[in-house]
Every structure is written in structure tokens, then in C-alpha cells.
Amino acid sequence: MGALVGGAERATAAESSFEDRAVTESVDGLEGALGRAVEERERLETLFPRLKRFMGQYPRYIADTEILLEFRTYGFPLRSLDSETAYAWTAGGKLLYRSGWWRDSFQLGAGLFLSQPIVSDDPEARTDLLREGDKGFAVFGEAFVRGRWRDNELTLGRFEIDLPYVNRSDSRMSPNTFQGIFAEGVGRGVPYLNRVDWVAGYLTDIRPRNENDFLSLAERAGALDGNEGMAVIGVQLRLSERLKIGAYDYYVPNTLDTGYVEIDYNWKLSADWALRFQGQGTYQASVGDEQIGDFDTWMAGLRVAGSFRDVTAWVAFSRVSDDAGIQTPFGSYPGYVSLMQSDFNRADEAAWVVGASYAPKIAPRWSGFVQYAQGNGGRVFAGAPGDDEREFDLTVDYRIEEGRFRGLWLRVRGSVLHRDGAPSRAYQGRVILNYTLPVL
């Protein structure tokens, strides 16, 4: 056992609670992996209302057409733990199309994803903004047909999904996208439950966020000869307005099985005060022919958060089995202790994090958060001695949500990571400018 040990050795850590969304204004924003899995995409008001009104005279599948341009430019210098440096400044983003619903039952969608270098010295793709060799990319990462019946939908083709461990991981120039068949829905009227959210599907391929090409899920996990896809199943039970639990499983034959559970309790004490308690667990193991090695491992985590008016603070803990680290080849790691550079999910790693965010109502365009995490005893390779690691992150946001420049979001980030035994500290700086234009 313990043939492989996962971990975040490059600039690919998840920080799934904060990577691609605004700073939380209260504990309501600390949804965790369960909240992201059932989050509905917001439809923005068009910049061209006259054109939209003109289209309104046509059938709904034309009148309700949506075209969204999400421009992004990204600057990313870094120095790694092995003293290697890289930097990239890129421009691109996404052009998304969604038709209206034909007879309230069928919809078409497509998405073009683009990243091109402005300035770059990143031949090994350490920043994940470009392909290896400082090459840009342009790819139709989405192209799907979707059907729905009541609160249930079935999608076939290429698409985005956002589940624990299998998700967009949209913290670079473009998201991961997947190919296959995927169903999701909501069950209502179930005794003793507010609602039940479910997903099921079979994914054949993944397009990593800085690549042109799709590859099988087994190959993405590291299988040399595998071309298997992934079976996905999951359910969330909303026991009340405050309490929900969820469980998901992802099975790649002869390669990898990952199971995830989470419980979430959100307690509103008053208009100003709120508390949130969250727990999570992962079991992960090689299966079948074990094309990526023979191992099994687990992770357990706990987060407690509180908010008062404009300030939210949290503390979280996690523990990983001593057999192997947690592997995350299909998206962001959903752990509560996950920062910009390290996921703190190495074998035998016990970790904790403290953090706080501030979103002042007197200056609503400005917000920010800070986090400090420490991991003890984590091993990068099986049989190697454990090394402690510490990381400090700072993020400042400026967002415009009204007026002529609504949809503009500037994010500035900095991070320092120290690991015992490493040749140097690792540094990262990130400057990301997003501008969303709802064309239709």
C-alpha cells in the first residue's frame, strides 16, 4: 500500500471556497462544496435592451437567447519551492451561448475559451495560464444539447459541472470542461425533507483548464494505458432551512474511486450575528487493475465560522491518512484547509487554517480576506520524512455591480509558502481583471 501520494506541488492548489467568487459578506458565502454543486447560474440583464425587446416578438427559443462575453486578463509571477521562477501575462476569456428553451424542453449551448500570451516566460506551464511552451489556446470547451422535464435536466455533449472533486476549477484563464452525459434534478414533497438534489452521469473525457484537447478521465488521473471514463452519482438532502447533508461518488474503472460526504449547519442568530458549522470526509482508493498504483486513503475536515455585520472569520482543521495523499486530477480540492499554493492534503498531514474577510457596506466596491494555514508532518512521497509547511495569503477585490461599468472585477492576490527542507520559500502574485458583458 501507499504506492502513490497526492499533493499540490505546483501552482495548482484549489482554495475552492474563494478561488472564483466574490469575498463573502457573511457565513452565507461559505457554502463549501455542497453549495457549489447545486448553485444556479445567474442570468444577467443585457446591455442592449432594445435589441432584446425586438427579439421578444419571436418564439421563446429565439427571444430568450443568451450571449455572454467574459473578458479576462491575468498576470501571474511566481517562484517555486525549488527556486524556479516563471511568469505569464495573458488575455482571453469566454464567449458563451445559450439558446432559449424550445417548447420548454430543449436547449442548445456552446462555449469558446481563449487564452493568449501577452508576455510570458513559463515554458513548463507552471502558472496554468498557457499550454506548455508558452502556447496559447482557443477551444470550444462547451457544445451541448440539454433537455428538461419539470425540475430535472439531462445534458449531452461538452459542458461545465461543479461538484466536489469534479469541477470547473475556474481560477486561471478558463475552466475545466467535461464530455459525456449528465443528469441532475430536484425532488420535492419527500417526507421529512425540504428538498432532495441529485446528480448522475457518465463522463468520458475532460479538457483541463489550460489545454486544447480532451482526454479520458483515466488518462487524466495518470493511467498509462487507460481510456476509461467516470461514473458519477450524488445526492444532497436538505433536512431544514439550516441543515443539509450530501454524499458523492466518482468511479473510474481500473483506476480510482473517490467518495465524499459533507454536513452543513447555518445558524442565523440575529440580523447581525450568524454561525456556521461544517464537516467533511473523503475516502479514496485505487480499484480494479490499479493503473495508478495500489493505495487507499482518507481525509476528514471541520470548519467553524462566524460573522458580525461586515466581518466574517473562520477556523478549520483537516487530517489525511498516513497511507497516501488525496489526489485531485479532475478539479479543485474541496477541503476547508486549501490555500493558493498548497491544499495541505499530503499523506499524514494534520493542518489548520484561520482566516477573516471584510466587505464594508460603507465602501461596497471594496472587500478582501486574509488566511494563514499550517500543516504538520505531511509527506510528498511514500516513505519520505514528513515536513511542516506554512502559508499566508492576502486578497483584495474591487467590484463594480452597477452603472456603466458593472461586471468589472479587479482581484489582487499575494501568497508566501514555506516548507521545511525546501530550498526556498515559494512566492506568488496574481492580478486578475474580469469584465463581464451580457450581450444578449
pLDDT band at 71; cut points 50, 70, 90: very high
Q: Which CATH architecture has domain 27-438?
A: Beta Barrel (2.40)
Q: 0.95 exceeded by the pTM?
A: no
pLDDT of the residue at 381: 67
pLDDT of the residue at 143: 98
pLDDT in tens, 93-147: 999 999 999 999 999 999 999 999 999 999 999 999 999 999 999 999 999 999 9
Residue 4 has pLDDT above 60, yes or no: no
Residue 2 has pLDDT above 70, yes or no: no
pLDDT band at 287; cut points 50, 70, 90: very high
pLDDT of the residue at 1: 41
Q: Which of 295, 302, 293, 301 is nearest to 320 (CA)?
A: 301
Domain positions in the chain: 27-438
Residue 23 has pLDDT above 90, yes or no: no
pLDDT of the residue at 421: 86
- 93 vs 50 pLDDT, higher one: 93
User: What integer is the mean pLDDT of 368-396?
Assistant: 89
- 23 vs 395 pLDDT, higher one: 395
Per cent of the chain over pLDDT 70 is 95
User: What integer is the mean pLDDT of 37-58?
Assistant: 78
pLDDT band at 330; cut points 50, 70, 90: very high
